[in-house]
Amino acid sequence: HAGHAQGTRGIPVRGRQVLRESNPSADRPPPTRAKREPRPARLPFPPVLPPPRAPPTLMPLTERTDSPRLITQVDIQLTNSYPFEAPKMRFITKVWHPNVSSANGAICLDILKDQWSPALSIKTAMLSLQALLSTPEPNDPQDAVVARQYLDSHEE
């Protein structure tokens, strides 16, 4: 119908956009086919094979030397206007952060508000959210109590 743009495969334009963004192979260039030299019918000598590689060593999470990982759940809502309107994102997991509301999980992030552009994607929003979690902005808080605690603890 008139208010719902359809693609050639029956998937709404917004749905195709989300599928394209969520496809991990979309970031890779399409494969190219190189012209192969014809192989001789029989090799003149046995091929040289690389030595077998040892399997990777897996360490329990507690023994890893890299920074600890925080696993959270984020609710992402897309309106019919996406990608022309920012996705609505909020934390479901309780997060103690100056730029996240401890009451409802609302996120204070400029690209989710007035700095959104249709050129951005859900992936961009998630990377920006990841950056925000590692570099809080306590002077532009979503949660003033957490921001005050953050500032007080860093002044000591």
Going by their DSSP bridges, the two strands 88-91 and 74-77 should be labelled as antiparallel
CB atoms within 10 A of CB 39: 7
The catalytic residue among 18, 108, 109, 125 is 108
- C-beta separation of 151 from 138 below 8 A: yes
Instruction: Show the CA angle centred on residue 152, arms to residues 148 and 155, nearest 5°.
Output: 140
- Tell me how far apart the alpha carbons of residues 70 and 91 are, in angstroms, rounded to a whole number: 13
- Tell me how far apart the alpha carbons of residues 147 and 96 are, in angstroms, rounded to a whole number: 9
- C-beta separation of 140 from 150 below 8 A: no
HSE-CB at 62 with a 13 A cutoff on CA atoms is 0
The C-alpha R_g of the chain, in whole angstroms, comes to 24
149 is an active site residue: no
Active site residues: 108
